Copies of this chain bind each other. A is one copy, B any other.
Amino acid sequence: MLIGLVGIGKIAVDQHVPAIADSRDWDLAATVSRHGQVDGVEAFADFDHMLETRPDIRVVSLCLPPVPRFDYAAKAIRAGRHVMLEKPPGATLSECHTLEAMAREHRVSLYATWHSRQADKVAPAKAWLAGKTLKKLTVTWKEDVRQWHPGQDWCFEPGGLGVFDPGINALSIVTEILPDPLHLTAAELHFPQNRDTPIAASCRFYHPGGADVSANLDWLEPGPPTWNIEAVTDQGTLLLENGGGKMTIDGRHDEGVAGLGGEYPRLYAQMAELVVQGGIDMDLAPMRHVADAFTLGKRVTVAPFEW
């Protein structure tokens, strides 16, 4: 199938372009970007122009930042195109609900992707947890914002989500691997005195079986990142490391080899399936938990942050 890629920034070049190039399902037929382009691919600066002149491109993948993304997604859906959205699927929950209603009305596929859910060991972790009784689940998601988003002030502007930008990846995994729904009961958000989003957060969740579920997010961790989820059950302890890339059960490393080649190839394979089936996958659970944390969280002012 032909696909158009909108927003040719770092994530597009690093992940989307190679994933599309390696896929048997997809051919990159056009890009839309004010600045970037891809060698050998028709480049548009204007999205409307692409939608008008390339009616053969039935699917578009949007890698723009969340705030402008709604307008592009709405235009594409109204033009009868299937749409794939980078995470998070929008700047607000309300616009995501609107997009889903529009996709149903226009009978197109819509996919809110959560790339971390496609990490190698997420499906095995989900399978291992099924049928076991959860006692405790602890998310530890710590990285150095200076290393991962150097100088990117948008992270700290309203809507930038702050430490929940990486933290939502953890929540996307947790909501995938646990069979039971959680909801936040308390959170503490650390806002640098000179910034509009939190740089650290701790969250506690209600679990229907009474398990002790918590998340500890920190954007000021020096050195290598820690992206871990530990689940203690009645039948042993599962540890997911490397953002879902490594799994150990009671200290034994799971050596199983995953199919396909990584998170983004799996997202594009999933999108191909959705388009063929006429499906919509607009699971907003990770984003709802983040909104709940902002709504319910206690705000603590901490030292100013400078790059």
Contacts and interface: CB of A to CB of B under 8 A. Distances in A.
Interface of A: 70, 74, 90-95, 97-98, 101, 158-159, 161, 181-187, 191, 196, 206, 208, 285, 288-292, 294-299
A297 B158 contact: yes
Contacts of A297: 158
A296 B181 contact: no
B299 A92 contact: no
Nearest to A290: B295
Count of this chain's copies in the oligomeric assembly = 2
A158 B298 contact: yes
Given A101-B181, A292-B291, A95 B299 contact: no
Nearest to A181: B98
A159 B101 CA distance: 29
Task: Select the residue from A92, A181, A206, A288 with max chain B CB neighbours within 10 A.
Answer: A92
12 contacts: A90-B183, A92-B184, A93-B288, A93-B295, A94-B182, A97-B285, A97-B288, A98-B181, A159-B295, A290-B295, A291-B292, A291-B295
